[in-house]
Amino acid sequence: MSPSVRLQEMIRVIRSARTQCEERGVIQKECAAIRAQFRQADNGGRSHNLAKLLYVHMLGYPAHFGQMECVRLIASPRYSEKRVGYLGAMMLLDEKQDASLLITNSIKNDLSHSSPYVQSLALCTLACMGSAEMCRDLAPEIDRLLKTANAYIKKKAALCAVHIVRKVPELAELFNTAARSLLTEKNHGVLHGAVVLITELCERNPSALPHFRKIVPDLVHIMKGLVMSGYSPEHNVAGISDPFLQVRILRLLRILGRNDDEASDAMNDLLAQVATNTDSSKTAGSAVLYETVLTIMDINSECGLRILAVNILGRFLLSNDRNIRYVSMMSLQKIVQTDHNAVQRHRGTIVDCLKDQDASVKRRALELSLALVSAANIRSLMKELLLFLSCCPPELRAQTASGIFSAAERFAPSQRWHIDTALHVLTTAGGDVRDEMVPSLIQLITTATELHCYTVHKLYRALVADISQQSLVQVACWCIGEYGDLLLRGECEETEPVQVTEDDVLDALETVLQSHMSSPATRGFALTATMKLSTRISRNVDRIRSIVSIYGSCIDVELQQRAVEYNALFKKYDHMRAAVLERMPVIDRSSPGHDNGEPAMIQAPDKTKNNPVVTLTQEPTNQARDLLDLLGGSDEPAQPSTVQPAPAAPVPDSGSAGGDLLDLLGGLDSIPDPSVTVYEQNGVTVKLRCDRQTDVGVTATLVASNTTDSDITQFTLQAAVPKCVQLQMRAPSGDVLPARGAGQVTQTVHLNNPNKVSLRMRVRLSYCSGGSTCQDTVQVDSFPASASH
């Protein structure tokens, strides 16, 4: 066997390799030698070999064959071998490997070793890669070590305990008392570890908070000592005494003081002292100040203190040091929900940061700007955001586009402005707009009835200029299809009209259809638009017919299906074509409670001091009121979103974006059954079929059937609707559902909707099946289109 070459020697050899290939060769040879040496039973240079293996591992070569060697080395009595063995274990092993179980015993023995340095090796390894079982086994040991006299071991044991608590949260109670007693230590390392441990315990287990709130005076005392002490060479960093410990303590104080007046009072003085006395010219001081500000904003601090904090943040924002500016924007982001006005004052600076050359600062400024949008500043801020969109880095474009859309939706001062903004975003960053935006845009356009002409002219121009941006092309095609007659009329008050002929328009659509840049969804849009034009133009209907028949043999199944159906419209159902393709009605927002006034203020669950808590979920004892209350509640604005999301929007899942809008063309004979299944469980199926639908009411029939092998008896339906809608239920046809679908029970309901709110209905079924009674509730959010409109 060749003598074991030292680590440095091997590194030298590897570095002298001139090409990647040469390096690989050298490393393979070395690994082979190492493997052979591992197989030898007794070997003086074992630790060298493992060190070499770890180096090779760092360069990215496989090193798994060293795992067992790590286990052997850890069990060795020599310190040098243990050291490398543990390092190898931390680098190569993790709880998923089998070998990691084998070191549990070694760690256990080493935790009680006479030498503290061996103990510390074991603690370090346990904290890095200890699995849940290992942690459970060794937790009592760690608890014992937390109480030793040796500060070096204590601080390591504290961090090891943090790891244990993370892995096995149930063991948290074990460390509660030990953690508290650690706070009396003088050694900063131990204090630091203790504060980290207590922080972790509090975060894991909120019920421990009252227990730990008692230590607030101790923490305040320690902090005061740090802040007021003079220069101490031991812990000094840039003039601040142990800023790391100060930051940790401030973080813990934040957790303890949140939502607790007593604790917050106890720390008010201290926070004011830290905020005024800390010198922020260097990073260390700024770190402490930054934590102080965040803590002040998060607890129930008094008014003057909050103002002080916001002023400090403002000062940070104007600092020359980029890091501090970045950090101040992060903190402003955290408080923008609660102290909106305070942050608004700095809007100018934030908007300027959008133009900073630093990508991280730009990202922060973007998020902050989007959070600061309000009805008052929407116009000016939107100008800046649109400017940003045209020159922002590519990874931020999607976020900017969707941010602009949601802001415009919430605060648009006029429809024309809203459409202008949307069109601007589409033309600038049409490729980065998310697919879900397309249906909402289309819906927006349909609602702005006076602006159809303007919109379609602008979109046509944009389409002709560039067909690569999918979202833009989709919206443009849809509009051209829908409002093509307005386009061809060639006159428009709002903007310079485009003079086009029918051929030009069809050319444009055909280019989209044939271009390789168009996605399948886009081509679907284009095909449908072409078809719709057949009723809106007079001369080139034959051209449209030929296009449609060509795509009847297209490879794309979706396009083919569409083309075949449209072909059928031309051939067999020509008499229906005009009716089917006529102008669509204005699409209602299908999600109830969607724009209920002010945007939802989403914040930490217990910020109840600002909003009076709206308790809508009082359980009425009267069961019949249950249904109505739950439905009626969703009419109130901004309910905290902890209740079940049932009234939330039933998201129309757009597999092909906007496809379901276009499917409202339904009514062709390919759809035999216009009823919707609203309930299907235990063999009971309930379908809802609309019989008649007018502006102010719906008549529907609920049809229940039974696919099980036995009859279902005592079948009853109850229904509830929102408060402003009136419900009439006719008598059901029966209350027995025969087995195996032999018969059905029908019940007609009539809903009278004079206020034209969006219709919802909650149906409760109860029946007796196989001797047991079942009760179920379903919610019907949308009524299917009726066969005869």
- In single-letter form, the type of residue at position 358 comes to D
Mark residues 16-35: x for contact with other proteins by CB under 8 A, - for none.
--------------------
Residue 51 C-beta: closest distance to other proteins, Å: 5
Choose, by CB under 8 A, the member of 67, 106, 264, 286 that binds other proteins.
Answer: 286
Residue 11 C-beta: closest distance to other proteins, Å: 6
Which residue's CB is nearer to other proteins, number 165 or number 761? 165
**Separation CA 322–CA 350 (nearest Å):** 13
The number of helices, as runs of H, and strands, as runs of E, in the chain is 34, 10
Verify binding: residue 196, other proteins, rule CB under 8 A: yes
CB distance 515 to 507 below 8 Å: no
CB distance 525 to 474 below 8 Å: yes
**Separation CA 45–CA 35 (nearest Å):** 13
Mark residues 75-104: x for contact with other proteins by CB under 8 A, - for none.
---xxx--xx--x---x--xxx--------
**Separation CA 246–CA 223 (nearest Å):** 7
CB distance 433 to 402 below 8 Å: yes
Which residue's CB is nearer to other proteins, number 254 or number 458? 254
Choose, by CB under 8 A, the member of 43, 108, 213, 244 that binds other proteins.
Answer: 244
- Angle at which helices 470-489 and 502-514 cross, to 10°: 170
DSSP-H helix ranges across 115-242: 116-129, 132-145, 151-167, 176-182, 188-204, 209-213, 216-228
**Phi, psi for 105 (deg, rounded to 5):** -65, -40
**Separation CA 649–CA 171 (nearest Å):** 42
**Separation CA 126–CA 613 (nearest Å):** 46
Verify binding: residue 114, other proteins, rule CB under 8 A: no
DSSP state, residue 586:
P
Choose, by CB under 8 A, the member of 136, 251, 416, 750 that binds other proteins.
Answer: 251
Which residue's CB is nearer to other proteins, number 118 or number 662? 118
Residue 324 C-beta: closest distance to other proteins, Å: 8
3-state DSSP percent of the chain in helix, strand and coil, to 5: 60, 10, 30
Q: With CB under 8 A as the contact rule, which of the stretches 243-251, 305-313, 488-496, 526-534 interacts with other proteins? A: 243-251
Which residue's CB is nearer to other proteins, number 353 or number 759? 353
DSSP per residue, 741-787: GS--EEEEEEEE-TT-PPP-EEEEEEEEETTEEEEEEEEE--PPPPS
Structure tokens at 726: 């009136």
Residue 238 C-beta: closest distance to other proteins, Å: 8
Residue 561 C-beta: closest distance to other proteins, Å: 37
Choose, by CB under 8 A, the member of 19, 20, 44, 575 that binds other proteins.
Answer: 44
DSSP state, residue 367:
H
Contact set for other proteins, span 691-730 (CB under 8 A): none
SS3 597: coil
Choose, by CB under 8 A, the member of 35, 189, 541, 545 that binds other proteins.
Answer: 189
Contact set for other proteins, span 347-386 (CB under 8 A): 357-361, 363
DSSP state, residue 643:
S
Choose, by CB under 8 A, the member of 54, 89, 472, 533 that binds other proteins.
Answer: 54
Structure tokens at 23: 């390096």
Residue 729 C-beta: closest distance to other proteins, Å: 50
Choose, by CB under 8 A, the member of 13, 38, 43, 55 that binds other proteins.
Answer: 55
Choose, by CB under 8 A, the member of 17, 26, 38, 57 that binds other proteins.
Answer: 57
Which residue's CB is nearer to other proteins, number 152 or number 417? 152
Which residue's CB is nearer to other proteins, number 389 or number 444? 389
Q: Show Cβ contacts of residue 400 under 8 Å, excluding neighbours closer than 6 positions.
A: 366, 385, 388, 389, 392, 429
Choose, by CB under 8 A, the member of 99, 183, 209, 237 that binds other proteins.
Answer: 237
Which residue's CB is nearer to other proteins, number 162 or number 512? 162
SS3 459: helix
Distances (CA, A) of 734 to 227, 305, 609, 738, 777: 81, 70, 54, 11, 20
Choose, by CB under 8 A, the member of 69, 110, 185, 291 that binds other proteins.
Answer: 291
What strands, in cross-sheet order, belong to the sheet with 745-752? Answer: 676-681, 684-694, 697-706, 745-752, 726-729
DSSP per residue, 736-752: -B-GGGS--EEEEEEEE
Which residue's CB is nearer to other proteins, number 59 or number 517? 59
Question: How many residues line the site for other proteins (CB under 8 A)?
Answer: 76
Q: With CB under 8 A as the contact rule, which of the stretches 44-52, 518-526, 540-548, 778-786 interacts with other proteins? A: 44-52
Choose, by CB under 8 A, the member of 224, 235, 589, 723 that binds other proteins.
Answer: 235
Which residue's CB is nearer to other proteins, number 188 or number 306? 188
Contact set for other proteins, span 608-667 (CB under 8 A): none
Phi/psi region, residue 500 (left: phi>0; alpha: psi -120 to 50; beta: rest), is beta
Residue 322 C-beta: closest distance to other proteins, Å: 4
Residue holding tokens 């965040």?
294
**Separation CA 243–CA 287 (nearest Å):** 8
DSSP state, residue 664:
G
Choose, by CB under 8 A, the member of 59, 576, 624, 742 that binds other proteins.
Answer: 59
Residue 673 C-beta: closest distance to other proteins, Å: 44
Residue 756 C-beta: closest distance to other proteins, Å: 42
Contact set for other proteins, span 311-350 (CB under 8 A): 322-327, 330
- In single-letter form, the type of residue at position 205 comes to N
Cα–Cα nearest to 11, from 50, 57, 45, 55: 55
Choose, by CB under 8 A, the member of 193, 403, 439, 592 that binds other proteins.
Answer: 193
Contact set for other proteins, span 575-614 (CB under 8 A): none
DSSP per residue, 285-305: HHHHHHHHHHHHHHTT--HHH
Contact set for other proteins, span 117-136 (CB under 8 A): 117, 123-124, 127-129
Contact set for other proteins, span 159-188 (CB under 8 A): 159-160, 162-163, 188
Show the CA angle centred on residue 552, arms to residues 550 and 553, nearest 5°: 85
Residue 517 C-beta: closest distance to other proteins, Å: 27
Which residue's CB is nearer to other proteins, number 117 or number 315? 117
Q: With CB under 8 A as the contact rule, which of the stretches 151-159, 509-517, 657-665, 760-768 interacts with other proteins? A: 151-159
Mark residues 265-284: x for contact with other proteins by CB under 8 A, - for none.
------------------xx
Which residue's CB is nearer to other proteins, number 349 or number 447? 349
Structure tokens at 517: 């840049």
Choose, by CB under 8 A, the member of 51, 527, 569, 712 that binds other proteins.
Answer: 51
Verify binding: residue 306, other proteins, rule CB under 8 A: no
Q: With CB under 8 A as the contact rule, which of the stretches 74-82, 449-457, 583-591, 736-744 interacts with other proteins? A: 74-82
Residue 309 C-beta: closest distance to other proteins, Å: 16
Contact set for other proteins, span 394-423 (CB under 8 A): 395
Show the CA angle centred on residue 294, arms to residues 291 and 298, nearest 5°: 140
Q: With CB under 8 A as the contact rule, which of the stretches 245-253, 448-456, 620-628, 658-666 interacts with other proteins? A: 245-253
Residue 245 C-beta: closest distance to other proteins, Å: 8
Verify binding: residue 214, other proteins, rule CB under 8 A: no
Verify binding: residue 247, other proteins, rule CB under 8 A: yes
